[in-house]
Amino acid sequence: MKVAIVSGSVYGTAEEVARHAERQLKAAGLEAWYKANMSLDELLAFAPDALLTVTATTGMGELPDNLLPLYSELRDRLPAWNGKPAAVLALGDSSYDSFCGGGELMRELYAELGLHEVVEMLRLDSSETVTPETDAEPWLQAFAAALKA
């Protein structure tokens, strides 16, 4: 099972979490691949069986600039991914109105693509935790288990 991991990050936290996710999914026996600032052509060349997005939120509920090119390409070209398993790991701060709004935008895109969310979106709140990598571990374990089921 090939799992592509894409990220959206302003200050680097989501990239750290995405790298951690790659290690953990590999340890679970999956062929995980992470690259920051991935283009759609690179993503399609990998031919993923499943997709994981790890994204922060910026502005007022927006996606980070470094995920916008891929997000736009996916919306324009709508690859034939109907029914493939996927999940969103969202980083946010609950003191903002649109908590994890970037993650919600990715979920809307998943719906357009027909991607199937196999685990509910994880919301990590930076006003409550300084250890997002370890906080994500049980959820990543559940994601890996769902992919292998």
The answer to whether residues 121 and 107 touch, using CB atoms and an 8 Å cutoff, is yes
Which CB atom, from 72 or from 129, has the smaller least distance to ligand FMN?
A: 129
Q: Write the DSSP string, 45-60.
A: HH--SEEEEEE--BTT
State whether residue 7 is helix, strand or coil.
strand
| Secondary structure (3-state) at 29 | coil
Q: Measured from the CB of residue 65, what is the shortest distance to ligand FMN in angstroms?
A: 10
Closer Cβ to ligand FMN, 48 or 101, answer by number: 101
Quick one: which of 32, 87, 91, 147 contacts ligand FMN (CB under 6 A)? 91
The residue assigned the tokens 């997709």 is 51
Residue window 42-71: x/- pattern of binding to ligand FMN, with contact defined by CB under 6 A: --------------xxxxxx----------
Q: How far apart are the first and last CA of the chain?
A: 11
Of 45 and 95, which CB lies nearer to ligand FMN in the complex structure? Answer: 95
Which span sits near ligand FMN by CB under 6 A: 10-18, 25-33, 36-44, 105-113? 10-18
Q: How far is the CB of 45 from ligand FMN (least distance, A)?
A: 25
| Helix ranges, the chain (H) | 13-27, 40-46, 68-77, 101-113, 132-148
Separation between Cα atoms, residue 64 and residue 30, nearest integer Å = 27
Stretch that binds ligand FMN, among 45-53, 68-76, 95-103, 133-141 (CB under 6 A): 95-103
- 98 is a site residue for ligand FMN (CB under 6 A): yes
Residues that bind ligand FMN (CB under 6 A): 9-14, 56-61, 91-93, 96, 98-101, 126
